[in-house]
Structure 1
Amino acid sequence: MTPQGTGHLLAIMIPEPKGREVAALLERNVTVTMTITIGTRNLQKYVSRTSVVFVSISFIVLMIISLAWLVFYYIQRFRYANARDRNQRRLGDAAKKAISKLQVRTIRKGDQETEGDFDNCAVCIEGYKPNDVVRILPCRHLFHKSCVDPWLLDHRTCPMCKMNILKALGIALNADCLEDLPLDYDLTVGGGGGGAGSGGRGVGGVERRDPQ
């Protein structure tokens, strides 16, 4: 149809049932007259109420699942952080107890540690001098006391052979703390990769001295 006063074609969208009705009339050579008026859009009637309900319920369910997951995640994260802090405190206390059981010696003039071919302290990479205080580990490696004590508090292992001092000294830990220890470590004193294979020189014949 061509409206009066325009030279353009006008396309009208009508529902399919109404279109079939008009087509049937035209096939019977019935004259069909249509009146076109400008109206307002009413999108609401094209929106299915079922679709709105489905979308709304889906959105609510999605929000509930997301909120539940976030709550679970932060609860687990909080529990893990607390467990890790408790574990670190227990391991720190155990490390202090182990360090107190390690032998301490003062280097004297003429000791083999003062010789030029003796290995330096693996922590500070400096040689030993007379009057230096050294800490001797169960694996028979020695280090400056001021160097190795902070290391042992943080790592609880020999800086050279990675021997765990807690297991070497037989300090019992609970199940939480044991998770922090190597599973393949030999419980015997000096186990877990002795000094000879670690590239460092140990102190022969050192006995562990417990505090009186």
Structure 2
Amino acid sequence: MGFQFHPLAFGVMLLVAAGTIAYTFWNSNREQNNRGRHNGYSYDDYNTRYCGSSISSVRSLEDSEDDDDLRRRPGKCTICLTNLKGRSIKQLKCRHQFHERCINGWLTSNNTCPNCRMHI
């Protein structure tokens, strides 16, 4: 007498195999998406790399109130979209200028220039 395979047992084994394949596929896609979202960095690397600027780096920004170039060409703060002239102004390393209050608020949650995305 040979080994007889019951159709119900075959169905259960097929269901388990399909579930295992689906889980493996779903899990590998999830890992790929997470890697792509963070450009290959771990969560801790991502968190420290893309957080706001330190208080000391914000304080070290150059004051531009007395800058002759600024008086000749006043321009606007691209954060609040109002004129820069006559207010407390800070200039980033990339030479973009902003109201001190506006850029300090921006830099609490970002470490890049709002215009050109240069790292501070």
What range is the shorter-chain TM-score in? 0.5 to 0.7
SS at match of 1:60: helix
The change in CA–CA distance for 1:153 and 1:53 in structure 2 (over 3 A counts) is same
Equivalences for residues 168-207 of structure 1 within 5 A: none
Equivalences for residues 60-79 of structure 1 within 5 A: 60-69=16-25, 72=27, 76=31
The change in CA–CA distance for 1:165 and 1:104 in structure 2 (over 3 A counts) is farther
1:119 aligns with 2:75: yes
Equivalences for residues 1-212 of structure 1 within 5 A: 49-69=5-25, 72=27, 76=31, 83-84=42-43, 86-92=45-51, 95-96=53-54, 97-105=56-64, 107=65, 113=70, 118-130=74-86, 132-160=87-115, 162-166=116-120
Code of the aligned partner of 2:118: N
RMSD: 3.8
After superposition, what is the alpha-carbon deviation per residue over 1:71-109, rounded to whole angstroms, capped at 9, x for unaligned?
x369849x868934652334426x22543432134x36x
- TM-score between both structures, scaled by the size of structure 2: 0.59
- TM-score between both structures, scaled by the size of structure 1: 0.39
After superposition, what is the alpha-carbon deviation per residue over 1:98-154, rounded to whole angstroms, capped at 9, x for unaligned?
43432134x36xx66456x62111211111343x22111112221101112233344
The change in CA–CA distance for 1:92 and 1:74 in structure 2 (over 3 A counts) is same
SS at match of 1:165: coil
Instruction: Point out which structure has higher relative CO (alpha carbons under 8 A, 6+ apart).
Output: 2
- Structure-2 separation of matches of 1:165 and 1:64: 45
The change in CA–CA distance for 1:61 and 1:104 in structure 2 (over 3 A counts) is same
- Structure-1 separation of matches of 2:119 and 2:57: 7
- Structure-2 separation of matches of 1:165 and 1:153: 13
Identity percentage over the alignment? 19
SS at match of 1:92: coil
What are the ranges of 5 or more consecutive residues in structure 1 without an aligned counterpart?
1-47, 167-212
- Structure-2 separation of matches of 1:113 and 1:156: 24
